[in-house]
Amino acid sequence: MGAVYFYHLTQRPMVETLPVLLEKSLGAGWRVLVRGRDRDRMDWLDQKLWQGPEEGFLPHGLAGGDHDALQPVLLVWEGGAAANNPTCIMSIDGADLTAEEVQSSERCCILFDGHDPEAVQAARVQWKALTGAGCSAQYWSEESGRWEKKAEA
């Protein structure tokens, strides 16, 4: 049974934090599914990840390709299939994450913008729903300048 980690982004934006989490996940040998709310946003993210640091390479693909099942990191939007059999699911932009997904994954992550009141409220709703369904959860904040675990359920 997995756990869901909530990442309250206040210092660095999602587009900077996500690659760090993806690298750590790949380093653990996990396949990752990154779920957003719509295709245009995931297409934007795909382009940003390809423009990453010159010294690094983050293998990934945008859903809908011929090799989705082989992708170490697959970018999907709501309603898209988890074709790469992920060990870890990451939710951005308030994309849905179910208790069943948390319980059947090694880890799930919810990244939310701490400067957006709607995103903060959506994360609170997800926390209540997932912990209410019996999922283990941790809340991480970077408010101090480094990541600190602030709550656990």
Q: How many CA atoms lie within 13 A of 120 on its CB side?
A: 8
Does the structure show a pLDDT above 90 at 2? Answer: no
pLDDT at 51: 86
Instruction: Give me 85's structure tokens.
Output: 């059999």
Alpha carbon distance 26, 43 (integer Å): 21
Q: What is the mean pLDDT of residues 126-147?
A: 95
pLDDT at 84: 97
Q: What is the residue whose two structure tokens read 């369904």? A: 133
pLDDT at 54: 67
**Boundaries of every domain in the chain:** 3-152
SS3 69: helix
CB 17 within 8 A of CB 111: yes
More confident residue, 40 or 65: 40
CATH topology classification for 3-152: Rossmann fold (3.40.50)
Q: 101 pLDDT band (50/70/90 cuts)?
A: very high
pLDDT at 59: 93
Per-chain mean pLDDT for the chain = 95
What pairs with residue 88 in β-bridges? 32, 107
Alpha carbon distance 42, 37 (integer Å): 8
Per-residue model confidence as pLDDT tens digits over 48-67: 998 876 667 899 999 998 99
**What's the pTM?**
0.95
